[in-house]
């Protein structure tokens, strides 16, 4: 659990109180079928008491491990994700209808759900090892990142296929 004690921030209204956590992806529920996070997830940030609530901001650093969707090779990628969230204590006299604010009970803010949500929602739809990945040959299945396979991968527009047949007959 990643819990931040608010007592020190309450004493230093408006000043940043730093925090740092290390966690495993499994411990905070940041797991997915298509990828995993290797090693520790490092969270560094600061908590500021604003008088009305608390602002939690910082950065998440992790290493994502996945199979590339283009070339099917195992890959890993260092990632950094920024976060900035507002928290309010339940029963503090303010309306709890604001959906832009996270609510908590007690003297500790649990940021684990927010960290999990940031990690999972910031992932791209496709897992690509690098921007220059050439993928697999559509004919023989060779990984084109390791070199050209020599297959004729010319794709003819089906609307012009009849014209291609004229060229072959000559």
Q: Are strands 101-104 and 16-23 parallel, antiparallel or unpaired?
A: unpaired
- pLDDT at residue 101 in the model: 83
The pTM assigned to this predicted structure is 0.80
pLDDT along the chain (170 residues), means of 10: 88 91 93 93 95 93 96 96 92 66 89 94 93 92 91 80 73
- Please report the pLDDT score of residue 75 as a whole number: 96
d(C-alpha 35, C-alpha 26), whole Å: 12
Backbone phi, then psi, for 113, in 5-degree steps? Answer: -60, -40
């Amino acid at each position: 659990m990643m819990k931040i004690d608010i007592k020190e921030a309450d004493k230093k209204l408006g000043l940043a109180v730093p925090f740092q956590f290390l966690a495993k992806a499994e411990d905070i529920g940041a797991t997915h079928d298509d990828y995993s996070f290797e090693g520790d997830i490092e969270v560094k940030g600061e908590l500021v008491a604003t008088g009305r609530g608390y602002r939690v901001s910082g950065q998440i650093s992790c290493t994502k491990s996945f199979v590339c969707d283009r070339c099917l090779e195992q890959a890993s990628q260092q990632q950094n994700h920024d976060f900035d969230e507002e928290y309010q204590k339940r029963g503090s006299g303010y309306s709890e209808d604001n959906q832009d604010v996270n609510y908590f009970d007690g003297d500790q803010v649990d940021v684990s759900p927010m960290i999990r949500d940031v990690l999972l929602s910031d992932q791209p739809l496709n897992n690509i090892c690098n921007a220059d990945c050439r993928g697999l040959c559509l004919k023989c299945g060779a990984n084109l990142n390791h070199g050209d396979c020599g297959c004729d991968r010319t794709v003819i527009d089906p609307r012009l296929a009849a014209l291609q047949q004229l060229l072959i007959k000559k």
